[in-house]
């Protein structure tokens, strides 16, 4: 049986025990390491939730040098009263691929170590919608996915032809995906698929074949209860640091237009057969082609929002909704410069024009070109503080206040190049305000709307992020 480095006995560190909970009464303490429940090793919170769904739990714990067995009684709805230091006791599982389009291989050297993390972890796919290739799984992990029925999973397919997929993943050997997708469907697990489109590699007939073969795995075609529900097609993103890697062509304006036409030609048959569009193009295709943004109905239930698909539509709809609720006059004068990346510049500028119709409001938009990564990188999520500082300084008419969307910051509150918003404020000599990503959030940040009146539409990102 295949064994990987992921199968280590690490356990989950207890960070808190709720007072008067079953675990509290049984004597579990913060700082205990939960090793197993009823003999099942616990690697992460998914293991915990799965195995804690009994009324009586036998916990194996490590407390300092001591091994303990504690029985927890009267557990209701898998809630023993435990909280854990982290979700993944054994750390993030990483990939053993060398994808021709991998963004991490195109990053400059000497950035923060976590930025080079090549995660390919089925748990993060289930919990957060990260795309996984399913190439690094041991038999034990496969058994676990099927047993715990982790659905839906987000899977990087790229191509269904095994040899081509192997080439795209840089594995040097055919890497079949369809048998794995069928195994997941048979176990009641749905999949959202992703294709990173590399011109000249997996486009044309290859793309048609991939979409058709994935569509065969949709429940409406296979007759199964579960299957491949949607497919995202995102254009490859190339940075100026791409050296020593397999040659991959840029996606240009005409190519993007051709892709929109090709996918919409397939759409009618897919909808007739499956009752869904099934394949969605990333927002960036419409930007590159200069094509109109699709309407809300195009995205159905936004099944690929995890891949950023449809975020521009959500932004536009939120802007429209919030526009109806804006005051005629600002409660206090607003003068602000909004920073954004190239892809969102058009829609942010349009919204800024609406804001400027409010008395005592003057906003303008500074579009930041990504000088740091260069190449095709045009999304706000990959802007650096250095580019923002440099280009706001050069921007004629920059206002006293500068506003950036929080998508520019990593989860730790830092920009990609390690500067904080306070650092940027200090270097600009004017305050940098970080607002939420939606137009309604921006209105709250500018004091034009109270917090409670922000529109309830969910849009995590202004723009798509490159995926695995
Ligand atoms: S794109 Fe993802 S799966 Fe491919 S090499 Fe990079 S991190 Fe690994």
Q: Which residues contact 321 (CB under 8 A, 6 or more apart)?
A: 440, 455, 457
Looking at the chain, how many residues does it have?
A: 468
Q: Tell me if residue 84 falls in helix, strand or coil.
A: strand
Residue 232 Cα to ligand 1 middle (Å): 17
The lowest-confidence range among 113-117, 222-226, 442-446 is: 113-117
| Centre of ligand 1 from the C-alpha of residue 468, in Å | 5
Q: Which of 43, 23, 35 is nearest to 66 (CA)?
A: 35
Q: Which is the closest atom of ligand 1 to the Cα of 95?
A: 8
Whether pLDDT at 85 is above 50: yes
Contacts of 68 (CB under 8 A, 6+ apart): 32, 59, 60, 61, 62
Protein residue whose Cα sits closest to atom 3 of ligand 1: 468
Tokens representing 114 are 């976590």
Q: Does the Cβ of 171 fall within 6 Å of ligand 1?
A: no
Q: Is the CB of 133 under 6 A from ligand 1?
A: yes
Task: Retrieve residue 132's tokens.
Answer: 């996984």
Rounded to whole angstroms, what are the CA distances from 74 to 37, 48, 57, 81, 194?
Answer: 15, 16, 9, 11, 43
Mean pLDDT (whole number) for 115-123 = 89
Residue 462 has pLDDT above 50, yes or no: no
Atom 2 in ligand 1: residue holding the nearest Cα: 468
Q: Are strands 191-197 and 153-156 parallel, antiparallel or unpaired?
A: parallel
Tens of pLDDT, residues 228-286: 999 999 999 988 888 778 889 999 999 999 999 999 999 999 999 999 999 999 999 99
**Statement: residue 6 has pLDDT above 80:** no
pLDDT in tens, 439-450: 999 999 999 999
What angle do the packed helices 345-355 and 311-323 form, to 10 degrees? Answer: 0
How far apart (Å, rounded) are the C-alpha atoms in residues 319 and 337? 18
Residue whose CB lies within 8 A of the most ligand 1 atoms, among 92, 98, 100, 102, for a mutation test: 102
Ligand 1 contact via 463 beta carbon (within 6 Å): no
**What is the arithmetic mean of pLDDT over 80-94?**
94
């Amino acid at each position: 049986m295949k064994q990987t480095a992921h199968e280590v006995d690490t356990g989950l560190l207890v960070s808190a025990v709720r007072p008067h909970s079953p675990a509290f009464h049984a004597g579990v303490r913060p700082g205990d390491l939960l090793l197993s429940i009823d003999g099942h090793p616990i690697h992460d919170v998914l293991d915990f939730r799965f195995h804690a769904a009994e009324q009586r739990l036998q916990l194996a714990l490590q407390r300092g040098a001591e091994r303990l067995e504690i029985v927890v009684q009267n557990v209701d709805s898998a809630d023993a009263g435990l909280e854990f230091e982290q979700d993944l006791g054994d750390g993030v599982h990483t990939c053993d691929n060398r994808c021709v389009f991998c963004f991490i291989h195109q990053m400059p050297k000497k950035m923060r170590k976590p930025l080079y993390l090549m995660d390919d972890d089925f748990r993060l796919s289930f919990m957060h919608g990260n795309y996984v290739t399913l190439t690094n799984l041991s038999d034990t992990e496969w058994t676990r996915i099927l047993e715990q029925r982790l659905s839906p999973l987000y899977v990087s397919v790229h191509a269904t032809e095994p040899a081509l997929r192997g080439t795209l993943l840089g594995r040097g050997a055919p890497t079949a995906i369809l048998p794995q997708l069928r195994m997941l469907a048979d176990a009641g697990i749905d999949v959202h698929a992703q294709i990173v489109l590399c011109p000249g590699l997996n486009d044309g007939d290859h793309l048609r074949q991939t979409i058709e073969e994935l569509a065969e795995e949709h429940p409406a075609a296979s007759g199964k209860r579960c299957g491949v529900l949607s497919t995202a097609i995102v254009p490859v993103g190339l940075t100026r640091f791409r050296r020593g890697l397999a040659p991959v062509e840029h996606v240009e304006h005409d190519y993007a237009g051709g892709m929109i036409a090709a996918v919409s030609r397939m759409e009618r048959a897919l909808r007739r057969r499956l009752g869904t569009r099934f394949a969605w193009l990333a927002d960036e295709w419409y930007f590159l082609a200069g094509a109109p943004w699709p309407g809300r109905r195009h995205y159905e239930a936004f099944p690929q929002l995890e891949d950023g698909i449809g975020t521009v539509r959500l932004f536009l709809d939120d802007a429209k909704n919030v526009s109806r609720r804006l005051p005629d006059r600002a409660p206090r004068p607003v003068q602000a410069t909004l920073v954004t990346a190239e892809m969102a510049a058009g829609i942010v500028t349009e919204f800024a024009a609406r804001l400027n119709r409010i008395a005592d409001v003057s906003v303008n938009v500074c579009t930041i070109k990504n000088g740091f990564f260069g190449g095709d990188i045009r999304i706000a999520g990959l802007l650096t503080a250095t580019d923002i500082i440099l280009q706001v300084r050069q921007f004629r008419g920059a206002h006293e206040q500068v506003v950036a969307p929080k998508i520019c910051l990593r989860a730790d509150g830092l920009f990609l190049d390690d500067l904080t918003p306070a650092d940027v404020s200090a270097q600009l000599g004017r305050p940098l305000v970080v607002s939420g990503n939606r137009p309604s959030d921006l209105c709250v940040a500018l004091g034009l709307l109270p917090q409670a009146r922000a529109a309830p539409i969910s849009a995590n990102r202004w723009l798509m992020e490159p995926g695995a």
